[in-house]
Amino acid sequence: EKKIIIAIDGHSSSGKSTMAKDLAREIGYIYIDTGAMYRAVTLYCLRKGYIQGDTIQEEALKADLDQMDISFRYNAETGRPDTYLNGEKVEKEIRSMEVADKVSLIAALGFVRRAMVAKQQEMGKAKGIVMDGRDIGTVVFPDAELKVFVTASPEVRARRRLEELQAKGEQTTYEEVLANVKKRDYIDSTREESPLRQAPDALVLDNSEMTIPEQKKWLRDQFEAAV
Ligand code: C5P
């Protein structure tokens, strides 16, 4: 049976990661969350004090980037991969509001993107992979056999994100989360380096009005049609 590359792009908190992870597990593919990689770089910078307000110490980050080890290890308990930064499990830390607030700034840096894209291309070269992000179908794997672009209204995405954060005990409000969702959309789609955009050959899924089982079935059907 032929193995393919599945590129899942879309807006933040559109639920694409949940769909992508579940599909990968069902079909026995490797799942790579590229957002987690940009989040790990952001966490690293915050810890090192390389981010002050909206200013980033680019030279310091550039010097450290080569030695930064970002990897994923399968967690048998959750059935999903955890993100590791230089050997430390940071899955929880990279999902904080503090990281979410700064990640788009880090992801807008060309030298960071080039380093991450190179890692991602290496991870996917054997195929049999589901990769989720913003530029997978456009930049990382423009020849992916299946490309999906997932979106939902900002309000729906903010509500989903708020539930996630509250479940984790983060103190935040709907207004704050909605502002963060919109701010990330804006930065992600207007940045100079590979802005978030739909690949011309991507299948678009607006899941504002869909349940998770409906989305999963839709994606599974697209996969069956592609192989
Ligand atoms: O997918 P997630 O919301 O975790 O991604 C966090 C941020 O990382 C995005 O808002 C975006 O700024 C950046 N990102 C990116 N390119 C990717 C994946 C994520 O620029 N392929």
Question: Can you read off the two tokens belonging to residue 140?
Answer: 């990382």
Instruction: Mean pLDDT check: name the lowest of 21-30, 74-83, 135-144, 151-160.
Output: 74-83
Q: Is 104 in the pocket of ligand 1 (CB under 6 A)?
A: yes
Q: Is 113 in the pocket of ligand 1 (CB under 6 A)?
A: no
Taking CA 133 as the corner, what is the angle to CA 128 and CA 134, rounded to the nearest 5 degrees? Answer: 130
Taking CA 74 as the corner, what is the angle to CA 170 and CA 134, rounded to the nearest 5 degrees? Answer: 65
**Looking at residue 137, what DSSP letter applies?**
I
- Per-residue pLDDT reduced to its tens digit, 138-168: 999 999 999 999 999 999 999 999 998 899 8
Q: What average pLDDT score do residues 43-62 get?
A: 97
What pLDDT is attached to residue 188? Answer: 85
What is the ipTM for the molecules in this complex?
A: 0.98
Question: Can you read off the two tokens belonging to residue 107?
Answer: 């992801």
Q: Is 161 in the pocket of ligand 1 (CB under 6 A)?
A: no
Q: What is the mean pLDDT of the chain?
A: 94
What pLDDT is attached to residue 45? Answer: 98
Q: Is the pLDDT of residue 184 over 90?
A: no
CA of 130 to the centre of ligand 1 (A): 15
What pLDDT is attached to residue 134? Answer: 94
What pLDDT is attached to residue 140? Answer: 97
Residue nearest to atom 3 of ligand 1 (CA): 12
- Per-residue pLDDT reduced to its tens digit, 5-18: 999 999 988 999 99
Q: Is 178 exposed, middle or buried (0-12, 13-18, 19+ CB in 10 A)?
A: middle
Question: In terms of DSSP bridges, do strands 88-89 and 80-85 run parallel, antiparallel, or are they unpaired?
Answer: antiparallel
- Per-residue pLDDT reduced to its tens digit, 86-140: 999 999 999 988 998 899 999 999 999 999 999 999 999 999 999 999 999 999 9
Q: Is 2 known to sit in a ligand binding site?
A: no
Q: What average pLDDT score do residues 31-60 get?
A: 97
Is residue 78 very low, low, confident or very high in pLDDT (cuts 50, 70, 90)?
confident
Q: Which of 93, 102, 103 to mutate to test the pocket of ligand 1 (most atoms within 8 A of CB)?
A: 103
Cβ partners under 8 Å of residue 27, min gap 6: 223
How far is 2 from 169, CA to CA, in rounded Å?
A: 43
What pLDDT is attached to residue 59? Answer: 98
The residues pairing with 203 across neighbouring beta strands, listed in sequence order, are 148
